[in-house]
């Protein structure tokens, strides 16, 4: 039986001191950290390796300077660890810091921590934190979004990976899988030796639902700003313009769709994002005479709900997408979604024919057919959108809090669930 958060904490003996170790402030995580910090019996401190994301920086995927317009450091206790190496990137050895051992042990008169939670496991910083915690007798939790649909590796590399996970079993006390495919990953590499506490990969549902409702009030003005005629459906893509996102497949499918003989209003295609493929995609649309494709460039997180509000359907045709949090976001706007079958969130969030459609990755014909079906009538898209909203309401930070509490209860024995 899963108890509400308030009931799970009733057997609390004392506040649990939870340390969270992560490379840098992440826009998707900040709201969850604020939510955890609201729990009266969980004393959270976040340790960052770098502060590059709170400054303007060059995002490799978007290909433009990015400065997030949502608060990344408000509402929870945090510290930046002393730096050995930090060049504003994320690699196995960057950022590289020291001081986590003394922080976990307790310093400046403060007690030590009861539990360490790390984001990821394959960076030197994360491993340093895990080893330090084990030396201090502190249980270790890890969370990462990997899956088994991995890149091809040679025999020696697979052997090294197997040996690495044998090592990891000895220093990790629990794992927080983000969904179905991630659970399969951890079971494959760790077996049944390490307990799993499913902690859904969620976004701030309340925020995106509120902003989407607010966007409806300015919908007509925004439509005019983008040069869109009222009464025509809108197909939306919003992601980095990288090759593996396969926005080119969507443009081809869109071209097939609008070439059909039909008396239905012709849809627009809005492409939100930037990156290395943008010029090629613009040339592709131009060469096919697709005058109703709009390239809207990079838009910050707070701007996206205005695009969600305009959309009749959202499409993500990507390959090897471990999760795809933009899908969570657009479902909070009550919009139908079309996903390739190579996107990690699909088994948990989208059932073919229910919240939208699922098509085989790189199958342009199947993608075009999915678009035809969802746009067959405005009612079809709206019904799928409502089912998407219903489903995402059960995939939220509240489920995350319950999972975290179960992990704390089992690994520290300080909360009796």
Q: What is the 8-class DSSP label of residue 307?
A: H
Taking residues 31-47, report their average pLDDT.
Answer: 97
Please write down the long-range contacts of 169-172, taking CB distance under 8 Å and 24 or more positions apart: 169/193, 169/194, 171/130, 171/131, 171/133, 171/134, 171/140, 172/121, 172/130, 172/140, 172/141, 172/142
Domains of the chain (ranges, CATH numbers)? 5-202+396-412 (3.40.50.2000), 205-392 (3.40.50.2000)
The CA distances from residue 156 to 122, 124, 178, in Å, are 18, 21, 29
| C-alpha distance from residue 40 to each of 5, 45, 133, 176, 198 (Å) | 11, 14, 24, 21, 22
Q: Which residue, chain included where needed, has tokens 């060059």?
A: 58
Tell me if 363 sits within 8 A of 356, measured CB to CB.
no
Residue 12 is predicted with a pLDDT of: 46
pLDDT of residue 391: 98
- Is a pLDDT exceeding 90 seen at residue 25? yes
Tell me the whole-structure pTM to 2 decimals.
0.91
Write out pLDDT tens, residues 235-294: 999 999 999 999 999 999 999 999 886 778 999 999 999 999 999 999 999 999 999 999
Q: How far apart are CA 262 and CA 242, in angstroms?
A: 32
**pLDDT class of 60 with cuts at 50, 70, 90:** low
> Would you say residue 5 has pLDDT above 70?
no
Residues 327, 349: contact at Cβ < 8 Å? yes
Let me know how long the chain is.
Answer: 417
Euclidean distance between CA atoms 404 and 280, whole angstroms: 44
Instruction: Measure Cα distances from 253 to 247, 256, 269, 292 in Å.
Output: 10, 5, 11, 14
Cα 330-333-337 angle, rounded to 5 deg: 45
CB atoms near residue 386 (< 10 Å): 14
Q: Distance between CA 72 and CA 76 in Å, rounded? A: 10
The pLDDT tens digits of the residues spanning 86-134 come to 998 899 999 999 999 999 999 877 789 999 999 999 999 999 999 999 9
C-alpha torsion sign, points 26, 32, 35, 37: negative
Q: What does the angle CA 372 – CA 374 – CA 380 come to, to the nearest 5 degrees? A: 130
What is the distance between the alpha carbons of residues 165 and 152, in angstroms, rounded to a whole number? 18
Tokens representing 242 are 């990288």
Residues paired with 91 in a beta bridge: 94
- pLDDT exceeds cutoff 60 at 189: yes
Report, as an integer, the average pLDDT of 335-345. 98
The single-letter DSSP state of residue 291 is T
| Residues 370, 250: Cα–Cα separation, whole Å | 11
Q: How many Å apart are CA 394 and CA 412, to the nearest integer?
A: 27
Answer for the pair 41, 412: CB distance below 8 angstroms, yes or no. no
């Amino acid at each position: 039986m899963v108890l509400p958060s308030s009931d799970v904490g009733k057997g609390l003996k004392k506040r649990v001191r939870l340390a969270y170790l992560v490379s840098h402030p992440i826009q998707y995580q900040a709201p969850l950290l604020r939510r955890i910090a609201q729990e009266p019996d969980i004393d959270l401190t976040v340790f960052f390796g770098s502060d590059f994301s709170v400054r303007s920086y060059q995002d490799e995927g978007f290909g433009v300077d990015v400065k997030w317009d949502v608060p990344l450091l408000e509402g929870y206790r945090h510290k930046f660890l002393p730096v050995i190496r930090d060049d504003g990137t994320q690699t196995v050895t960057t950022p590289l810091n020291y001081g986590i051992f003394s922080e976990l042990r307790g310093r400046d008169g403060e007690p030590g921590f009861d539990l360490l939670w790390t984001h990821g496991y394959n960076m030197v910083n994360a491993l340093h934190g895990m080893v330090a915690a084990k030396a201090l007798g502190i249980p270790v939790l890890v969370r990462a979004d990997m899956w088994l649909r991995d890149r091809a590796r040679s025999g020696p590399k697979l052997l090294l990976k197997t040996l690495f996970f044998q090592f990891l079993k000895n220093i990790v006390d629990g794992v927080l899988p983000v969904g179905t495919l991630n659970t399969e990953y951890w079971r494959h590499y760790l077996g049944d030796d390490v307990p799993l506490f499913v902690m859904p990969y969620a976004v701030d549902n309340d925020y995106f639902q509120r902003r989407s409702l607010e966007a409806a009030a300015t919908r007509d003005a925004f439509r005019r700003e983008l040069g869109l005629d009222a009464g025509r459906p809108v197909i939306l893509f919003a992601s980095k313009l990288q090759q593996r996102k396969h926005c080119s497949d969507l443009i081809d499918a869109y071209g097939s769709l609008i070439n059909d003989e039909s008396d239905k209003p012709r849809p627009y295609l809005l492409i939100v994002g930037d990156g290395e493929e943008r010029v090629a995609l613009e040339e592709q649309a131009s060469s096919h005479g697709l005058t109703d494709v709009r390239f809207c460039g990079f838009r910050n997180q707070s701007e996206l709900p205005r695009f969600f509000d305009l959309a009749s359907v959202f499409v993500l045709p990507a390959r090897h997408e471990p999760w795809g949090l933009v899908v969570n976001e657009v479902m909070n706007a009550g919009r139908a979604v079309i996903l390739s079958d190579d996107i990690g969130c699909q088994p948990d969030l989208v059932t073919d024919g229910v919240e939208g459609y699922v098509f085989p990755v790189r199958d342009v014909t199947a993608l075009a057919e999915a678009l035809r079906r969802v746009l067959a009538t405005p009612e079809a898209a709206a019904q799928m959108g409502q089912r998407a909203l219903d489903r995402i309401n059960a995939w939220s930070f509240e489920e995350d809090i319950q999972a975290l509490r179960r992990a704390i209860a089992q690994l520290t024995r300080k909360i009796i669930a």
